[in-house]
Structure 1
Amino acid sequence: MTRIVGVHGVLQYRPGDPLRAGEAIAAQWREHLGPDRPPGLEVAYFADLVRKPGAYGEPLNVDRLDADAWSLLTSYLVAALPDLDDGGRLRVSPRTGMAILAGRRNVNGAATHGFLVAFAREAARFLRAHGRAGTREAVTARVARRMAGADVVVAHSLGAVVAYETLWAHSPIAIPLLITIGSPLAVPGAVFPHLSSPTVDGRRGRPPNVDRWIDVLDPRDLFAVPGGEVAALFDGVEAHAERRVPAFDAHQPGGYLRSEPVGRALTGLDLVNRAGSGQVDRAVEG
């Protein structure tokens, strides 16, 4: 059976056992994939590691962001609103910038505020190089344990950043197929400069332990589009653009999981095992 490991995005925290939390998210993903997709899907859960220690709920309020998250959000808005870029600084407050962005994209302002605050907060905690020591290492170590032996990794939103960093940090893991959906990897300032992989002429590469990388993007996705598609800044990526759902829901995993490029990659997967090793040799789209 094909083993698929998902890596979730933001706002996925569930109290209690991380294994049960991951299974709850996996059950939702399996519903989106539908009955004709490969059944062996699980989710690598990390949301408990990118939240404030001891906090059950954190208000989705831009005024409650710490300095790192504030800086990340500002960098994101500079990329999303280039006409408001004042030498790398936003000409308006982040709160105003989010309202302008929501208006231009014709999406709900309060929901945009909440999702962007959550993204900035969780991404900053994962990517920061100081403060709460070891968060990136703790997240990638846990996700690596789930990824080991997977035939396919499907990584959504911040999970695409986590999966990418995990694969670079844990080179013994071999993944025949990586699918990123709604990925913010290419967002300049906010994400791209903080990745650990090497750059060549301002570009980063596909992890060397990944045979094939497919990136699926809805061009209306608030998180994935600022700064350009992943293929614009990463080598070795097969890019697909797909419009599937109403504009604000464009970032949700369900629309991506039901999309034609993802379905084609999964249902047409031909996995050949190395004799006696249990390791996957290659993945070919049929």
Structure 2
Amino acid sequence: MARVVCVHGVGKQQLGEQTLLSQWAPALHDGMRRAGSQARLVDSDVEMGFYGDLFLPPGQRLAGDDPHYEWWDVSAGAETDLLLRWWEHAAAAEPQVVAPGARNLLAGVGPLVQSALLALSASRFFAGLAEKALIFNLKQVIRYLAESELRAAARDRVRQMVHEDTRVVVAHSLGSLVAYEALCSLPDHGVRSFVTLGSPLGIPNLIFDRIHPAPEQGVGRWPGKPSSTTWTNIADARDVVALVKDLRPRFGPDVVCHLVPNGSHVHDAVHYLTKKETGVAIADALR
């Protein structure tokens, strides 16, 4: 039974549990060491709540190619809205990204979605990410929210890994939404520390207002018992996915929020895991 359950983010559909753990486990230990902890976790202490394969097109194996998306495959509504929010945030954080209001600089490139993708191609955040991969990741977020069977299957993957010995759940990106909903559905769990990294949970309308269980009077449910489960949220100020860095207005004043510098890879899970702030939240729960 794992003491630490990890939950990955978007774009991991071609990987698997052990591949991700080979990256996450050393980084997790580094974060704990930065926090001053001398504890060492053995392999059986850490497991990965893997749900990426649920996003593969039917009939493909993990080695298959992702769909080749073009700009016109971005649907109107939630997908376009989220893409434009990413564009706005990237332009505010990175001066080389053309701002949405500077339409004259993007004259002749076509519809707004195409303009957004062109502008984001200059972002360090999206460096090395092909346009089709960016669109695929965008669609994963919206699919999770819109497809009830997929959502339940991903949430159940995490639920099944949380046992009486589990003390920490650390989740990255979209995984923070999956893990949050899984913990809320397990009211008697013994998790002492919920750690979210680069989380989109606080984005109004697109994410926060569509979580399960639904927020009451503008406040989301605490993912456990407030007396026994702490929640630490960690984000880089330039992280486009974590559009809302401070979760306290949405989930209550007890969320411990930190801003950390992740260098040029602002949304990278490994960079988040190696931080002292992450290590403290994990080590304290295991002590």
Q: Distance in 1 between matches of 2:187 and 2:73?
A: 34
What pairs with 1:14-53 in structure 2 (closer than 5 Å)?
Answer: 14=14, 21-34=16-29, 36=33, 38-39=40-41, 40-53=45-58
Q: Give 1:57's match in structure 2, choosing from 46, 61, 65.
A: 65
What pairs with 1:79-158 in structure 2 (closer than 5 Å)?
Answer: 79-80=85-86, 81=88, 84=100, 93-103=112-122, 105-108=123-126, 111=129, 113-114=131-132, 116-129=134-147, 134-149=149-164, 150-158=166-174
Whether 1:233 aligns to 2:250 is yes
Q: Give 2:263's match in structure 1, choosing from 226, 232, 245.
A: 245
Of residues 233-242 and 35-44 in structure 1, the stretch that sits farther from structure 2 once superposed is 35-44
Aligned in 2, Cα 1:27/1:263: closer, same or farther, shift over 3 Å?
same
Q: Distance in 1 between matches of 2:70 and 2:204?
A: 20
**Residue 76 of structure 1: aligned partner:** 82
Map Cα deviations across residues 1-38 of structure 1 (whole Å, 9 max, x no partner).
981110001111247xxxxx212211210122236464
Q: Which amino acid aligns with 1:51?
A: L
Q: Distance in 2 between matches of 1:23 and 1:106?
A: 28
Q: Which amino acid aligns with 1:79?
A: R
Assess if the C-alpha contact under 8 Å between 1:38 and 1:266 holds in 2. no
Map Cα deviations across residues 241-263 of structure 1 (whole Å, 9 max, x no partner).
001321xx110101100112002
Assess if the C-alpha contact under 8 Å between 2:159 and 2:186 holds in 1. yes
CA RMSD of aligned residues (A): 2.9
What pairs with 1:196-215 in structure 2 (closer than 5 Å)?
Answer: 196-209=212-225, 211-215=229-233
TM-score by length of 2: 0.76
Q: Which amino acid aligns with 2:55?
A: V
Map Cα deviations across residues 145-203 of structure 1 (whole Å, 9 max, x no partner).
01223110000011001001111233343321100001111223332222122323323
Q: Distance in 1 between matches of 2:156 and 2:141?
A: 17
Q: Which has the higher contact order (CA 8 A, sep 6+)?
A: 2
Q: Distance in 1 between matches of 2:153 and 2:167?
A: 23
Q: Distance in 1 between matches of 2:204 and 2:137?
A: 15
Aligned in 2, Cα 1:209/1:47: closer, same or farther, shift over 3 Å?
farther
**Residue 10 of structure 1: aligned partner:** 10
* Offset, 1:121: 1.7
**Residue 96 of structure 2: aligned partner:** none
Between Structure 1 and Structure 2, the one with more strand by share is 1
* Offset, 1:108: 4.8
Aligned in 2, Cα 1:203/1:128: closer, same or farther, shift over 3 Å?
same
Q: Distance in 1 between matches of 2:232 and 2:21?
A: 20
* Offset, 1:60: 5.4
Aligned in 2, Cα 1:102/1:51: closer, same or farther, shift over 3 Å?
same
Aligned in 2, Cα 1:160/1:62: closer, same or farther, shift over 3 Å?
farther
Assess if the C-alpha contact under 8 Å between 1:44 and 1:147 holds in 2. no
Q: Number of residue pairs matched?
A: 252
Q: Which SS does the other structure have where 2:129 is aligned? A: helix
Percent identity (aligned): 24
Aligned in 2, Cα 1:208/1:47: closer, same or farther, shift over 3 Å?
same
Assess if the C-alpha contact under 8 Å between 2:191 and 2:224 holds in 1. no
TM-score by length of 1: 0.76
Q: Distance in 2 between matches of 1:22 and 1:64?
A: 33
Aligned in 2, Cα 1:115/1:157: closer, same or farther, shift over 3 Å?
farther
Assess if the C-alpha contact under 8 Å between 1:178 and 1:212 holds in 2. yes
Aligned in 2, Cα 1:98/1:255: closer, same or farther, shift over 3 Å?
same
